[in-house]
Amino acid sequence: MDHADYRQKYERPYSDNLLDKWGRMAKQMVDARHVSGDSGYYIGGAGSNFRQNPAGGAEVGVTNYTRPWLSTKLALAGQVNSGAQNAFAGVNTAVHVSTPTRVAPFVGAGVFGGVDVGTVVDSLNGDESTNTQFLGAVYPEAGVHVWLNGRTRLSASASYWMTTSSHDREFWYYGLGVTFGFGPDGRTFESGGMHREDEFVNRLLDEREQSDDVVVRTPTSELPDVGVRATLDRVLPPPGSPVYVEPPTD
């Protein structure tokens, strides 16, 4: 219930009907469609098979869901070795397709591009460097997202990197990351969307205050009640008058 959209869908009381109650509970256990249109902050790390090609890295960035089943990632990433025996800093981006569930298997693909940190340092010092100056990579990826609550996601993945390096161009890369901060509670609901019960009541009260129609109750049961226009400058008749309008008590 820490996500505004999830709370909007499920905060109402359970039905007294056991079948309806259990059905809704089962739906809540798997439903993660509430993240559509939201973004969160991402931090993660990864490593390769260290016996064959020791490489490690870390990244920090953002994740966005354009659909409940489609997410993208854009992160600043650092990586050591990468089969090139260097340290690189650059940008890592990926697209994931997953099930819109709390435990969500996914597949995807990504691209990395980075510059050699040693080369940059040598250039700043006016020295020549023989290291690889740029590393590019593309990779397919598979893994699983697990929503710990409405706004926090844990991700584990395995990707197969194919790089521009002249050393060990291809290797497996295993990652673990956390995405947090989805769905601010200050979200405003779109027109036509569902509203929580207290918001619905407040909206009705606001509309009632802005209404320019009142009902005049006739003094005899033979005559129907009629609606008349009310204006701000109208002077109400005294109590007991046949056209007196009883003020609302609620």
Q: Which CATH class is domain 4-180?
A: mainly beta
Contact 102, 3 (CB under 8 A): no
How far apart CA 187 and CA 67 sit, in angstroms, is 17
66, pLDDT greater than 60: yes
Residue 76 is predicted with a pLDDT of 95
Which pTM was predicted? 0.66
| Sole residue written with tokens 């601010």 | 184
Residue 20 is predicted with a pLDDT of 87
211, pLDDT greater than 60: no
DSSP class of 102: S
Residue 115 is predicted with a pLDDT of 87
218, pLDDT greater than 80: no
How far apart CA 98 and CA 156 sit, in angstroms, is 13
Residue 97 is predicted with a pLDDT of 97
Q: pLDDT tier at 206 (50, 70, 90 boundaries)?
A: low
104 contact partners, CB below 8 Å, separation of at least 6:
32, 98, 144, 145, 146, 147
Structure tokens at 45: 């790390």
**Pick from 42-51, 72-81, 174-183, 235-244: least confident:** 235-244
Higher pLDDT, 70 or 24: 70
Contact 71, 86 (CB under 8 A): no
| Sole residue written with tokens 């219930």 | 1
The tens digit of pLDDT for each residue in 9-30 reads 888 888 888 888 888 888 888 8
Q: Where are the domains of the chain?
A: 4-180, 212-245
121, pLDDT greater than 90: no
Q: pLDDT tier at 150 (50, 70, 90 boundaries)?
A: confident
How open is the CA angle 75-77-80, to the nearest 5 degrees?
Answer: 165
Q: What is the mean pLDDT of the chain?
A: 77
Residue 54 is predicted with a pLDDT of 75
**Pick from 78-87, 180-189, 228-237: least confident:** 228-237
Burial of 146-156, coded b for 16+ CB within 10 Å and e otherwise, reads: ebeebbbbebe
